[in-house]
Amino acid sequence: MELYEKLVNKEEKLSLVGLGYVGMPIAVAFAKKIDVIGFDLNAHKIDLYKSGVDPTNEVGNDVISKTSVDFTSDETRLKEAKFHIVAVPTPVNDDHTPDLTPVEGASRILGRNLTKGSIVVFESTVYPGVTEDVCVPILEKESGLKCGVDFKIGYSPERINPGDKVHRLETITKIVSGMDEETLDCVAKVYELVVEAGVHRAESIKVAEAAKVIENSQRDINIAFMNELSIIFNKMGIDTKSVLEAAGTKWNFLNFRPGLVGGHCIGVDPYYLTYKAEMLGYHSQIILSGRRINDDMGKYCAENCVKNIIAANKPVKGANVAILGFTFKENCPDTRNTKIIDIVNELHEYGIDPVIVDPQADADEAKRLYGIEFVDFEEIKDMDAVIVAVAHEEFSGITMNRIDKLFGPGEKILLDLKGILNRKEYEAAGYRYWRL
């Protein structure tokens, strides 16, 4: 009986290594069909899951409290599973080179507990070749087993969009790959248990790795183009959003908008691709140009805040500035790799210590990673400038009357980075309004 059938008949188990914004929803989805062991090194996170709390808000407390996932921080429990999915983050270092530490660490843990007949599928975003050239040797060394003989490998890049309740694991076509046809068939069948949209069978592991890394590189380049247009149109005194709305009436105009590019995918994946390209002697031109533009947008926004403060005849040093939103995207608690911190740091350079409100953010994480402490919305008053930085649902429907109460005397400066407010209404009310 093949592994797929044993999983379906609950004679074998599936393990999920890494239970963050990507891994946990995968584990929960599979647990509806087969037996799942959910492993994470973070014992506190495991305790939260066991107590029915979802710190990621991806599936919610109700779903977590009812799931049959066997949550554990004991790595030896991985020996009970035969089909393993690795979903750990792959960040970049300060010099923008790939940081493979998490995926290498996960490979070592899994290798120590790998048994014969297993299939290991990596979901972490990597440059082409990492699965076979980096992860496999670690698995073999730690397990004493031989890849292709004692265990098989595959790759299926994650496409989960944190905070998105429409594009979910079940509704997005899943790319799958395997080291041989037999492995590919098993991997495809296993994922088809939970992915209603179906799977795409890539012809090799490297093809699947490359497909993932260019998806976000493409988005990054397009957003960089929009950001460059925003810089140009602001110098021309033209509203970028109005230009894009007009251009968007053409059927084949791509619907991208300017903005801060943070998170763990769009702002990271391009560096994995360019790193591998440089290893092969090619220096990226378009991809790295886009990265430079996007990496500088937080500084650009802060500079425009300062320029508006000066234009309003207000002192810059010690100015009262509030930032609404700190997470890397709307309606998501994740603050890791948020570009709002670039705005904060740049404002500090001008002697401005902004207050920050974010009702959705993980406050403990923000404190640990950035030393940021949030304030309640009701505490904001006497501001010189307000920056609406993230389009959380709490902010998208905010009224002008509520915004008015945030300001002190003098001209009101409002930076609407996401363009969620009505520019004409605020300008008519006497606001100094600016947006990307």
Answer yes or no: is 429 within a domain. Answer: yes
- Measured distance CA(130)–CA(86) in Å, rounded: 13
Pairing type for strands 199-201 and 118-122 reads unpaired
Same domain, 199 and 230: no
346, HSE (Cβ side, Cα atoms, 13 Å)? 18
Residue 315 confidence (pLDDT): 95
Looking at residue 311, which CATH number applies to its domain? Answer: 3.40.50.720
Residue 243 has pLDDT above 80, yes or no: yes
Give yes or no for a contact between 146 and 117, defined as CB atoms under 8 angstroms apart: no
What's residue 161's pLDDT?
Answer: 67
Cβ atoms within 10 Å of 132's Cβ, excluding its own: 18
Question: For residue 21, what pLDDT is reported?
Answer: 84
Lowest mean pLDDT across 13-22, 72-81, 262-271, 313-322: 262-271
Give the dihedral of Cα atoms 76, 82, 87, 92; nearest 10 deg: 80
Distance CA 339, CA 370 (A): 12
212: in domain: no
pLDDT (0 to 100) of residue 100:
94
From the list 135, 147, 186, 265, the catalytic residue is 265
Q: What is the pLDDT of residues 7-27, one digit of tens each?
A: 999 999 999 999 988 899 999
> Which letter does DSSP use for residue 131 in this model?
I
Residue 213 in domain: no
**pLDDT (0 to 100) of residue 171:** 80
Based on the domain organization, do 139 and 259 belong to the same domain?
A: no
81-86 and 151-155 strand pairing: unpaired
424 in the same domain as 285: yes
pLDDT of residue 162: 64
| Number of independent structural domains in the chain | 2
For residues 356 and 406, state if they share a domain. Answer: yes
Same domain, 418 and 327: yes
Residue 73 has pLDDT above 80, yes or no: yes
Q: What is the pTM of this model?
A: 0.89
Is 301 contained in some domain? yes
| 327 and 403 housed in the same domain | yes
52: burial class by Cβ within 10 Å (0-12, 13-18, 19+)? Answer: middle
Distance CA 274, CA 348 (A): 32
The domain boundary residue, chosen from 205, 233, 267: 205
- Its domain, for residue 44, covers 3-205
Mean pLDDT of the chain: 92
Q: Indicate if 265 belongs to the active site.
A: yes
Residues β-bridged to residue 388? 324, 416
Residue 181: exposure state from Cβ atoms within 10 A (0-12, 13-18, ≥19): exposed
Burial (0-12, 13-18, 19+ Cβ within 10 Å), 369 = middle
Is pLDDT at 128 greater than 90 in this prediction? yes
- 86 in a structural domain: yes
Final residue of a structural domain among 172, 205, 238: 205
Q: Are residues 237 and 99 in the same domain?
A: no
Q: Confirm whether 177 is domain-assigned.
A: yes
167 pLDDT band (50/70/90 cuts)?
low
pLDDT in tens, 352-365: 999 999 999 989 88
Mean pLDDT of all residues in 90-113: 92
177 and 311, same domain (yes or no): no
- 169 and 251: one domain? no
Q: How far apart are CA 274 and CA 280, in angstroms?
A: 10
